[in-house]
A and B are shown apart, each in its own frame.
Chain A
């Protein structure tokens, strides 16, 4: 739909009607001063399209349109809009909804709005169309979490820490190894020191030896000067002389004492009055006899006492027996026995007699045998009666009888009845049978009667009743049997009693017979009593009891007599023995001048005295001998002492007894002695020293003088002092080496490091997995977008690329709920949201988006677009780009575009820009002139626009010269391919290069959006196709990546800030230096190391190390090897991009880039 004419009769702010005419499609420029009504044009057309838009007051607008070749007219009065088609009222054409107004009426103030709302609706619609029913963003965020800059950083730090630990431990072991490597040298030094130590000992000994030799000479000289006799002295000579003299004096005193003792002994010998000493054995025998005599005398006394007692006992016994006559009787033992036998016979006889008489009396009163006999006979009769009752047969009952004879009765009846019947009815002979039956019946009845009347028991019962004794309780068998057993029991009892009576009768008769015998014996006993009295010469026969006492007295008398005789014998025997012993002692004592003893006591006293005399003699003899011996000894001792004294004087070379001389000599002796001791000591030590030196192989040292030895000692001491330290160090090394060998510290640390490396690998794999997933989803999304990309986005994308000279690309953010449009700078790859874009770029983006969306919503109507000072924020370059693009839009879509501006110079700029696309301005409408009849521009100079600087054509210039003409920046592959000028991509096609540059396509990164554009198709129609250019950019990408290997990344302010290694005061200066060095990290570090720049005075080495560590850790310094030329070329040629290029192109390009890159980095070609 095209606006052909617009008449504004009235609008708020416009009271004077005016009309503008527009001639068909194309770019129309409406210009005029501010407030002339340019914006009212937009509002007027808006009001015609949509009743809801525009003011309802004072509105009167008419518009004529052409749509699909037909004339449409729209009139708006107030809020009412009327449409006419071909002059007739008609419904409005199918216009977009009113809310889409801003896609057709674009105002600057809307396009510079940085809020996201500006594109939200467009972006949401694009997203909705492209989603394909899948929430790919959500899937990507759920499954493939974005890999942030910190991803794996912790694992890397852990690895670095583990690596550091390994390196640290390795370093420590390296240090230990170095120490161990010095081990042999240390051992050598120690050995040398030990040799010195040993030699030092010898030297010290030699020094001692020298001293001792000197001392020895001195002492020897002193000894020689002393008296000769001193040599034989012991130093104790005076003391010895005095001691010996004292001994002599003592011996003389003792001689006198001993002589007195000898005289005393001799006096004692005489006082003993014994010619010789007695034999001690004999003296003991004498003493034993004396003692024996004592014991005999004691026994004799006892025997005499016993003798007297026995005499008294005898007299008493005699008295008990009746006096002295008894003693004279011949009462021997046999008689004595007869007496006792007689007494026992009398006693026994009397007792037996009494017993028999008592028994007979008892037997007489006990028994009554006649009565018992009668009772027994009676009971036996009773029993017989009962037995006969029991033996009688038991009477039968009637039923018993019937039962016992039933068969016979029945037989008889049967025979009688049958016989009678048969006789009556058959044959009379059968009457015999009936008769036979009767014959059987008769005996049967007879027998029954007999039994029934038997009376044996009745007789018995009758008889029993007559006896008058208790009858059985009943006359039946059990009662009768019970009663019979009772009577039989009584009979048995009575029988037994009768038997005992018979036995007592026999006994009585026997006792009576015995009693008669005893009576006869009394006569015999009387005769024996008389005979016994005679034999005992007893005038009166005593009663039997007294006779017993007498017998006993006789027995005692006999015993007393025997005892008296034995006591008398014993007294006699002892008296004989006593006399003999006393006589023996008397003989002995008298022989030794003692008196005769009277008894044992006296004898023993005399023997004691004799013994004392003997002892006195013995001791006197001993003393005399001992004293004599001592006297002899004393004499000998005295002589020895005298000899010793004499020898002392002789040894001292003095006269005998020259005590004064000896004393004087001894005063000098200690000094002599000391000197002698010194010589001995010194001599021994000297010998020892010499032996030691000889054994140590240092005998020659004995010949050295002291100064020489001291010099040697000082030298050796220095060496020895080192030995201890060396020993400690060697031991320490040994201990540490052994510890290290036995340990597993590094092995454990390596294991930890490898585990950390594995974790890092896992994290990398996670990152790659996420990125791979994101890549696939993005790839799918991209392809889907490409295939299914809504026209609106495609158009917006194309417009934006064109508006920005392909320096930016339009993107749609992936936020699911709030998609946003944003721009990506192709050179740097940096994405920027609306609020991050410059106003100009933002206008370009929104303009592109809205124009694109306008086409979407107009549904083929191709409504005019009104741009109200939309490009005021654009610089000339952008202005031109937008106008050229809009010119193409207008041309391609047959669309009217009304550009409203207050700047009349815009007309010329638009004209020039359109001319670049071979378009012209469709119409220029001076609204000021229309409304005021006064031209908006009075001075043509105001319309002058300086021509844009043209890209020089290559013409006949060489490649290099053309590059200079273009002021091409240096080739810096380290910046990446997108930053490289197109000059380096097309050195072989300068015309194409020119065309691209003329279309503002300068850097390789721009090709991404150019490649699929109409521009590419238009420009690349020659030898080099757009596909080849694409392949060349890919090859350049490969080249840049290969080049960067080992070269790290450039350092900028952000890098230096992030390193945290620099102090604030140096940051700016270091950033400046980095810039001067093109951000080369290695050169920067080298520069800092030199520490010569005054700006960096005081810069610390620790900061350099920290910065270096950061740059290493973060890839700014790449420790991979830099690829050599051959490898570089090889890998480049092996890349897929190279394969897409015609033969030789890749090789040539790589060659050229390689040279340029090396040259740019100051490397030798």
Chain B
């Protein structure tokens, strides 16, 4: 096997889409939004693969967006594949639920582009280096939009013969790990473990679930590669391809290269101590700048950094700030810091009241009752659950209104009636209500 092998593993790319949540002012900061797209991220990844002289590049499905999988997304993909093949870098991919139609078409027209497991059948492919096998990749592709059975069960039922001694085996799959049912190839971690493969590189979920780790003897890498670039503000943290080192002996080593040009982060920013409401944007920008500098110092500063900020702390101007936040007055605010455009995608209220809620809760008037609910929600105890259940019943009809049904199809959509979401919602509305109660009731001024 020589010096071992290097593989660049890429998760969901979703070519044909643009990242959402970007401010309109981006061009005025000298940034072309097209440089933040999955296309741009793929181009960077290819550059990296060529620079690192990897032996192969693997895609874990959903390379292209289903709604745009015919033409617009194909050109950059063709370009990427041809560049890699021109450098003698093997290209292996499995199809996901978004590109189960597009990838077979592409594989048919580009020599050297290897689609693994087409038609929903497991397939093994050996990666060679100087005509010597270095790794075996076993993969499965979506053959239709929805697959409700676990494909790994099929693999376990009909396993492949063991590879040659010393050749590691990597599973490449687009699937829904540990999902209770579902239509996107639901699989269980236990199933993956039972295959005994040296690693499982998965696509579908956009949040990377690997750590930068060297697999120990008892721990084989298995998880999501994540999307190549955060496609919306919910896809926080570092994104980029994973460099998989396959040594001659010993466990595989995975390292993420956070080259995504756009990064999303959720941050908490305290407004405590601010005397004027007008100071809030300055505080926000100052914190944003500080945040960017952390990235710059650690050498992983992206071209653009989108922030979702939770305003914390207490302010005497609680209601005015809350209203401005609710009106989105400070959204899309940003600036360029050390070459990185940082902006606020959204600012949400998580402020504390300047009230002694515990003291207020000792009464029996409506304010006290509201304070009791806030305290209970904060504790998360049984009473909290009662409140949440009641609220869920109350809010259910609204949340389930057909009018909002498109929201459920949003990428990384979360259940607004989940305990966490509901608790956050109730806390925010309850605080606003309590603040208003006490502000509008002189007798009830207990701050």
Which A residues contact B (CB, under 8 angstroms)?
A: 132-136, 138-140, 142-144, 147, 151-153, 156, 159, 163, 166, 170, 173-174, 176-177, 737, 740-748, 750-751, 754-755, 757-758, 760-761, 764-773, 775-777, 779-781, 783-784, 787-788, 1037, 1041, 1112-1115, 1118-1119, 1127, 1136
Contacts and interface: CB of A to CB of B under 8 A. Distances in A.
B280 interface: no
User: Quick one: which of A176, A747, A757, A1119 has the most chain B CB within 10 A?
Assistant: A747
A771 B369 CA distance: 18
Interface stretch (B151-159, B209-217, B266-274, B386-394): B386-394
A770 B429 CA distance: 7
Contacts of A772: 391, 395, 422, 425-426, 428-430
Given A143-B429, A152-B403, A777-B370, 12 more contacts: A133-B365, A134-B365, A139-B437, A144-B429, A163-B406, A173-B68, A737-B71, A741-B71, A750-B65, A758-B20, A760-B406, A1114-B403
Tell me if B's interface is mostly helix, strand, loop or mixed: helix
A1050 to B, nearest CB: 14
Interface stretch (B120-128, B235-243, B301-309, B439-447): B439-447
Contacts of A1037: 393
Given A152-B403, A747-B16, A750-B68, A776 B370 contact: yes
B239 to A, nearest CB: 17
Interface in B412-447: 416, 422, 425-426, 428-430, 432-433, 436-437, 440-441, 443-444
Nearest to A736: B71
Nearest to B437: A134
Contact of B72 (A135, A136, A156, A743): A743
Interface string B401-417: 11111110110000010
A153 B436 contact: no
B296 interface: no
Nearest to B429: A773
Contacts of B181: 1127
B68 A170 contact: yes
A754 B411 CA distance: 9
B440 A768 contact: no
A1136 B365 contact: no
B353 to A, nearest CB: 14
A764 B370 contact: no
B434 to A, nearest CB: 9
B106 interface: no
A765 B67 contact: no
> Which of A143, A760, A783 has its CB near the most chain B CB atoms (within 10 A)?
A143
Given A134-B441, A787-B364, A771 B71 contact: no
A644 B147 CA distance: 107
B367 interface: yes
22 contacts: A135-B441, A139-B440, A143-B429, A173-B71, A176-B71, A747-B17, A747-B68, A747-B73, A750-B68, A754-B17, A761-B407, A764-B404, A764-B416, A768-B395, A768-B399, A770-B429, A773-B429, A775-B391, A775-B394, A775-B395, A776-B370, A1136-B385
Contacts of A746: 16, 67-68, 72
Contacts of A138: 440
A303 B177 CA distance: 146
B48 to A, nearest CB: 24
A750 B67 contact: yes
Contacts of B409: 757
B163 interface: no
Contacts of A135: 440-441
A702 to B, nearest CB: 44
B440 A134 contact: yes
A770 B390 CA distance: 15
A826 B432 CA distance: 32
A166 B67 contact: yes
Contact of B70 (A139, A173, A784): A173
Contact of A779 (B373, B395, B398, B436): B373
Given A771-B398, A773-B432, A152 B404 contact: yes
Interface residues of B, number: 60
A133 B444 CA distance: 8
A32 B55 CA distance: 109
Given A748-B18, A776-B370, A1127-B181, A740 B72 contact: yes
B407 A757 contact: yes
Nearest to A1117: B402
A757 B70 contact: no
Contacts of B385: 1136
A1136 B370 contact: no
B232 interface: yes
A765 B416 contact: yes
User: What 5 A-B pairs have minimum CB-CB distances, sorted nearest first?
Assistant: A1115-B402, A773-B429, A740-B71, A754-B20, A746-B68
A554 B115 CA distance: 144
Contacts of A151: 403
B281 interface: no
A760 B370 contact: no
A134 B433 CA distance: 11
B339 interface: no
A784 B432 contact: no
Given A740-B72, A783-B369, A767 B440 contact: no
Contacts of B110: none
Contacts of B364: 784, 787-788
Contacts of B37: 747
A745 to B, nearest CB: 7
B183 to A, nearest CB: 9
A952 B42 CA distance: 76
Q: Which of B37, B404, B430, B444 has the most CB of A within 10 A?
A: B404
B21 interface: yes
Given A134-B441, A170-B68, A176-B70, A769 B398 contact: no
B74 interface: yes
A1127 B430 CA distance: 34
B166 interface: no
B25 interface: no
Contact of B398 (A132, A144, A741, A767): A767
B366 A769 contact: no
B396 interface: yes
B179 interface: no
Which of A151, A166, A775 has the largest count of B CB atoms less than 10 A from its CB? A775
A761 B396 CA distance: 15
B75 interface: yes
A769 B72 contact: no
- Which of A741, A743, A781, A1119 is the most central at the interface, judged by chain B CB atoms within 10 Å of its CB? A741
Contacts of A163: 406
Contact of A136 (B366, B387, B401, B405): B366
